[in-house]
Amino acid sequence: MASVKPHFRPAVRAGDFIFVSGQMPFDDNFNVVGNEIVAQTKQCLKNVASALALEGANLGHVVKVMVWLTDTEDFPAFNETYATAFPDAPPARATVCSALMVPGARVEIEATAFYPASAAKEQ
């Protein structure tokens, strides 16, 4: 599958909030990883975590997630995989079914984190 390099910043800080752009199941070369929902969900979550790390934050700082799935049948496997990233205190979440802009992608995950700028500067 051809690679598609998106034109956006992975994460943007606005005060104490970090807004993570929708993360697709891309590897480092912007190719879609695998063709099944578990592998793609894991890659999206890895990409969310990497975007948060740019601002000194991690998945534990996430307060809201928006998820797009291309197939409602993928929801159970997606949900089980997603739960491993947020085992104790899952953030608020919305999940919808929609076509995605990248052929072969089955999931996209966007996140908002709360991580005070003062805490990030102390690190």
Predicted pLDDT at 121: 73
Higher pLDDT, 5 or 65: 65
What pLDDT was estimated at residue 5?
67
Over residues 47-67, the pLDDT tens digits come to 999 999 999 999 999 999 999
For the chain, the domain total comes to 1
Distance between CA 27 and CA 93 in Å, rounded? Answer: 24
Indicate whether 76 belongs to any domain.
yes
Query: 115: domain CATH number?
Result: 3.30.1330.40
Domain span holding position 56? 11-122
pLDDT tens per residue, range 90-101: 999 999 999 999
End-to-end CA distance of the chain: 40
Nearest to 52 by CA among 70, 65, 39, 40: 65
Give the tokens for residue 49: 């975590």
